[in-house]
Structure 1
Amino acid sequence: MQFPHNTNLYYIVQNTPTVKIPLDDISDLMLKLSPSIEDIFIKCFWRGVSYKCRDILRFQRTEEGFCYSFNSQTAERSTNDESNINPPFVGPDGILIPLRNNAAGKETGLKLIMSNMSSEFFPTDNRRRGFNVMIHPNDGFPDVATAYKIHAVRDRITRISVSVAQVEADESLDRLDIRNSQCYLYRAKAKNLNSLFHKSSNEDTCFIKCRMRAIYQACNCTQYFFKLYKVLQRNPKIPEDEPGFPRWSIPFSMNCSCRPPCSFTTYTTELRYEFRQFINKEPSSSRYDVFLEVNYRELFATSYRRSMRYTTQDLLVSFGGVASLFLGCSLVSIVEILYVIYKSFLVIVRNQYNNYKLNNNPAWPDATAI
């Protein structure tokens, strides 16, 4: 039933009544009908070396449906797991270890040659052929809002350059509670990340879960390409005791309260287009394939550290410095003097108390007696 093998497919679809499919079988049915890796990818390269696409790509669930991903810890582990080199790898303690790269520039990252999938479109469908490409952290789900539209254009190469910035939380943030902290500390390890309800260090995963809850609230269902979740609950949408929000004026909306993580890695992407070289040596049928390269833009990454502006110790030191400025001497010296006075006062009080007990109690032994 696949065009162009069946040329009457369009007319059959138009004249055949709708087939009722049980809701529980929709996800499995769409999974079986989705294009395979061989249908989409022609050649795959990693760091200039050609590999079988099935060996380095995995099945991935996104908000736009079933996709394929590279080096993603949130990809499905149950499918396409027969390859020993398919990243990310499972470490000795069960932690998923992604591939890393220490090179930048052309031909140093991931290169994909993809089919334009013209055989999957109806003859009267004039939409441009291409794919949606999403760059995301390996421990989070792809965010469809950041997708690039990569079209099949004659003799054109699409190159995505990636810059990396990392923010790391200092140990001083552990002393803050959730209400006083402006960020969230995620403590989960990279296990079973193909579930949306894991504690990811990616803020986009929080927004994806929020959108899923909103869809579940509106239609009591979830998209076929995500697993069913019966624990989704209603989100508050209308602010209480706030003027200007009558209920009749509030459309269906979402209230996504997602705190940014204290430690995270962000990727800044830049899209460029180039023309293929030596195009006359390529067959004419391959000139409309999709050529995509993803590589690092620089050999370095920008790192930041997030810590408390003032701790208790810093506050005492600052107060001592200001006090010393006005007193003309070190505050530590004043504290030492007060300590000596306090200890001397305790010694005097103790001696006075012993003398009082000695004078009022005849049975008390003489201090000079042996």
Structure 2
Amino acid sequence: MKRRGSFRVLLDTFRDFTEQTSIHGLKYVCQRNISVSERIFWAMVTFCSIGMAIYMTTLFWDRYTSNPTRTTVTTLHAPTIALPFPAVTLCNENIVVESKVRALVETLNYSNVSEDDLINCFLQLQALTNQDQVIWNVQDFQKLHLVLHRNNLTILDVISRVGQNCEEMLLNCQWNFMSVNCSEVFRNTYSKLGLCCTFYGNLRFNKKQTFTDNYGTEGTLSLVTNPKVEPNKYFLGAMGLRILFHDALSYPDFRALKKIITTGTQTQIQIFGTKIVCSSGMSKLALEQRGCVFPGEVTLRHFTTYSDANCLIEKQAYEMMDICGCVPFYYDFIDFPKCNTLQLACFIEASIRNESWLEYSDDCPASCEDTLYEVKTTQVKLEKGDFYYIHSGDYIENLEEHTTQLKIYFVKFQKILQRDLLFSTVSLIASFGGIYSLFMGCSLITICEIIYYCTLRLFVKKQISKRTMDSRK
């Protein structure tokens, strides 16, 4: 009897709700003066509407949680001063110059190995940066280790003496229509490509980005270079000059844009910049929703500025340390022991096996606000003996065979994109309201009615029913 009384109270409360609610389909289902077939029809309509409303709700919720942002074009005509000029890193494809190796060997103290064999051992160090294009063997690395140990030399010492430095590579530099001393704007740096020259991008010296309001071929950065090209039997790749474009505060490796320049050419390099900014609402989203980080949200152990490139380099350094017990010579940002000649085989094999390091992409999200660069190159062959225009009133004649001019400049207009909220919380609530209004005729009042009839009204009905039963007893 008690269970039947509770069921009757629940049924009466439901009938009261259907009479008062704005969900019209339920009214027809529970009305007593309509036929059974009409009730079945309105029941089907009501439940189909409820099902469609629930389905649309899940779609909007998935859209809100998985892809709540959008990127729109703010302007396609931003001035060049709005974007930082990229760091430009110049690297000779041949990191070991044979003539410099021979000069180094003459200063070394060695025995039990011939001069030619020792030179061949040094030339195999090109495998440090071109593992798939250099012939090398472990026995020669072992011989080289004994010689370097005897002369108290490290791999870093050797690369700095057998590679081409900035003073040797750069003949003339122009920045913002003015002739400048190349040593003032370029510094020797070490990267995965060996000894390189970087324009305003050495993390040890430069803590800020560089801007310019100039554009076009005669402005920005103009260089005359003379890369040493000395082919040898161990290097199977093409000789030339490799240029990396990257953020001045990021390590020039993973995300750096790379271009190979043929020597003996006049090369114009147009830079197309894209700056990504964020609206104020982006920072309110969780990291999992926006998929990117703002400054200060993620800190690195060895870099003051976060970028996904710096983060990936750190991850790679720790992975290399775990595998080989050392890190490459060009990881000068970390105090781990640098790989010696005996450990080169392990380092080379690990580099080939883990070239992409994609497993760390989830641990190193992209920056929400970033600057991206695209470049377009145009090359013209220079003939030996040509007069060569550098800047107003200055000429160079009788160029050497591999002398190369580079004109690196911004195009006139740059692009600015903005990331903002595609689907905010307010939009989500409005969408839910539209869905349930469309399919069920619901409103905020309906929600209040459901809560009211499921709680307070049901409790009152039970109390009245209990008193009625007690009075009958």
Fold match (TM-score > 0.5):
yes
What is the CA-CA distance between 1:69 and the residue it aligns to? 0.8
CA contact (8 A) 1:161 1:296 kept: yes
CA contact (8 A) 1:163 1:269 kept: yes
What secondary structure does 1:116 align onto? coil
What is the CA-CA distance between 1:216 and the residue it aligns to? 2.4
What is the CA-CA distance between 1:13 and the residue it aligns to? 4.4
Letter in 2 for 1:184: V
Matched, 1:218 2:323: yes
CA contact (8 A) 1:178 1:184 kept: yes
- Superposed CA deviations along residues 274-307 of structure 1, whole A, max 9, x for unmatched, are 245996436444353022121112x222112112
Q: Output the aligned Cα RMSD.
A: 4.4
Task: State TM-score, norm by structure 2.
Answer: 0.51
CA contact (8 A) 2:386 2:399 kept: no
**Distance change (3 Å), C-alpha of 1:2 and 1:271:** closer
Aligned counterpart, 2:123:
none
What is the CA-CA distance between 1:319 and the residue it aligns to? 4.9
**Distance change (3 Å), C-alpha of 1:146 and 1:281:** closer
**Distance change (3 Å), C-alpha of 1:160 and 1:267:** same
Matched, 1:303 2:431: no
Matched, 1:271 2:399: no
Matched, 1:183 2:292: yes
CA contact (8 A) 1:59 1:75 kept: no
**Distance change (3 Å), C-alpha of 1:229 and 1:23:** farther
Aligned counterpart, 2:99:
3
**Distance change (3 Å), C-alpha of 1:39 and 1:123:** farther
What is the CA-CA distance between 1:54 and the residue it aligns to? 0.3
Aligned counterpart, 2:169:
40
Rounded Cα–Cα distance in structure 2 between residues aligned with 1:24 and 1:198: 33
Structure 2 residue corresponding to 1:49, chosen from 154, 178, 185: 178
User: Superposition pairs for residues 1-370 of structure 1, below 5 Å?
Assistant: 3=99, 12-14=115-117, 18=144, 19-21=147-149, 26=154, 29-30=157-158, 32-33=160-161, 34-72=163-201, 74-77=202-205, 88=206, 96-118=207-229, 129-143=239-253, 146-153=257-264, 156-187=265-296, 197-201=303-307, 203-227=308-332, 228-230=334-336, 252-253=353-354, 254=357, 255-257=359-361, 258-275=364-381, 280-281=386-387, 283-297=397-411, 299-319=412-432
Aligned length, in residue pairs: 290
CA contact (8 A) 2:159 2:194 kept: no
**Distance change (3 Å), C-alpha of 1:314 and 1:186:** same
Relative contact order: is structure 1 or structure 2 higher (C-alpha 8 Å, sep ≥ 6)? 2
What is the CA-CA distance between 1:56 and the residue it aligns to? 0.9
Rounded Cα–Cα distance in structure 2 between residues aligned with 1:23 and 1:7: 15
Larger C-alpha radius of gyration, 1 or 2? 2
Letter in 2 for 1:220: G
Percent identical pairs in the alignment equals: 18
What secondary structure does 2:418 align onto? strand
Rounded Cα–Cα distance in structure 1 between residues aligned with 2:385 and 2:217: 18
More helix by share: 2
**Distance change (3 Å), C-alpha of 1:322 and 1:66:** same
**Distance change (3 Å), C-alpha of 1:51 and 1:252:** closer
**Structure 1 runs not aligned, ≥5 long:** 78-87, 89-95, 232-250, 339-370
Rounded Cα–Cα distance in structure 2 between residues aligned with 1:273 and 1:174: 44
Letter in 2 for 1:295: Y
CA contact (8 A) 1:60 1:75 kept: no
- Superposed CA deviations along residues 299-351 of structure 1, whole A, max 9, x for unmatched, are 222112112322223334455667788999xx89x79xx9xxxxxxxxxxxxx
CA contact (8 A) 1:117 1:129 kept: no
What is the CA-CA distance between 1:52 and the residue it aligns to? 0.9
Rounded Cα–Cα distance in structure 1 between residues aligned with 2:150 and 2:288: 45
What is the CA-CA distance between 1:103 and the residue it aligns to? 2.6
Letter in 2 for 1:174: S
Aligned counterpart, 1:84:
none
What secondary structure does 2:251 align onto? coil
What is the CA-CA distance between 1:181 and the residue it aligns to? 3.5
What is the CA-CA distance between 1:215 and the residue it aligns to? 2.5
**Distance change (3 Å), C-alpha of 1:303 and 1:15:** closer
